[in-house]
Amino acid sequence: MANTTLIEKVSIVTSAVRTLLATLLVGGVGVGGWYGYNTYNATELEAKRAAEALTQARADIEAKDAVIRVKEQEIGALSDEVAEQQMEIERLDAAMRLLKVDHRMALISVVDQTKDEATDTTLTQIDFQEINGNGDPIGMPKHFEIKGEILYVDSWVVKFDDKYVEQADIDRATSLVLFRRVFGEMQEPRDGFALDEAGARPAVYGRGGEMSDFEKKIWGDFWEVANDDAMQSELGIRAVHGEAPSIKVKKGKAYRVDLRASGGLSITTAGDVAIPAPPAA
């Protein structure tokens, strides 16, 4: 009987131990599962947060890039505006200087005149001096010796409608002239002496210094315009042609070359020239 009771007690204890172990095992598995679940979810959550942060960072970069592009466009627009304003300043500057020249003038002084009896040719020495509206000299005089007594001033004259350069926006209603050359009746025109340089700004229309891009367009295209009907129409030119007025000159006399605002070239007498006395023998 006693043995039976002991065996039962051992069995009860064993059963209790087994139950406890099973409970502990089940609890351990549950805790481990909970820990593993939370650990897995935490990793996944961190990955999700990292992905969201990356997406937001990319969105921020794209937004900043968009702002930069807008700013670049604004800077480009401002640069274009500044360039346009600079062009307008050059246009107005050139227009103001052109408007001040209602006509272009030069003074020709006959300083000497001799005759070669062997060839029956008269040699005439002249000084060609450009002058402004007040009669003041512009630049240095140019000294030439022509063959003959009749002096020719060969020029290209351009006459405009209400505008000089319509597309380049220079309002102009007056004539312009390039003095090409001077020569005598005993010379071929091609053997004459050059005055204005082709493609360069005549001194009377300038203020010194390097030509602006706007002026280069005006004077650099001058000869091309003179030979292009379509360009003349586009620029509002009503007439472009050569003129070579002439006059018989005498030693000790001065002559003025004039280009009126709405007309052509003319040569008129302008008084006497002081001729230095010959050196004493």
Tokens of 215: 């002026």
The per-residue pLDDT of the chain, averaged, comes to: 75
The residues, ordered by sequence, that sit 6+ positions from 172 with a Cβ below 8 Å of its Cβ are: 95, 98, 99, 160, 163, 164, 165
pLDDT surpassing 70 at residue 10? no
Q: Among 102-106, 169-173, 246-250, 274-278, which is the least confidently predicted range?
A: 169-173
> Highest-confidence range of 19-23, 53-57, 157-161, by mean pLDDT?
53-57
pLDDT surpassing 80 at residue 64? yes
pLDDT of residue 176: 72
Tokens of 177: 């002239």
Q: Which residue has the tokens 């000294």?
A: 143
- Determine the average pLDDT of the residues in 74-84: 79
pLDDT of residue 159: 74
- Determine the average pLDDT of the residues in 104-121: 89
Q: Which residue has the tokens 């312009």?
A: 176
* Interatomic CA distance for residues 195 and 189, integer angstroms: 13
- Determine the average pLDDT of the residues in 229-238: 75
pLDDT surpassing 60 at residue 95? no
pLDDT surpassing 90 at residue 211? no
pLDDT surpassing 50 at residue 145? yes
- Determine the average pLDDT of the residues in 78-94: 72
* Interatomic CA distance for residues 7 and 70, integer angstroms: 93
pLDDT of residue 101: 47
pLDDT of residue 255: 96
* Interatomic CA distance for residues 15 and 109, integer angstroms: 144
Higher-pLDDT residue of 167, 240:
240
Higher-pLDDT residue of 210, 119:
119
- Determine the average pLDDT of the residues in 58-75: 84
For the chain, the residue count is 281
- CA distances to 12, 28, 171 from 19, rounded to whole Å, are 10, 14, 111
Element (H or E) spanning 217, and its range? Answer: helix 213-220
* Interatomic CA distance for residues 249 and 233, integer angstroms: 39
pLDDT surpassing 50 at residue 99? no
pLDDT of residue 218: 62
Residue 241's nearest CA partner among 176, 187, 192 is: 176
- CA distances to 1, 12, 19, 165, 220 from 5, rounded to whole Å, are 6, 10, 21, 131, 132
- Determine the average pLDDT of the residues in 121-146: 90
Strands of the sheet with 137-147, listed across from one edge: 137-147, 121-131, 104-116, 253-259, 265-272
Q: Among 64-68, 166-170, 195-199, 237-241, which is the least confidently predicted range?
A: 166-170
pLDDT of residue 50: 76
Q: Among 128-132, 217-221, 238-242, 244-248, which is the least confidently predicted range?
A: 217-221
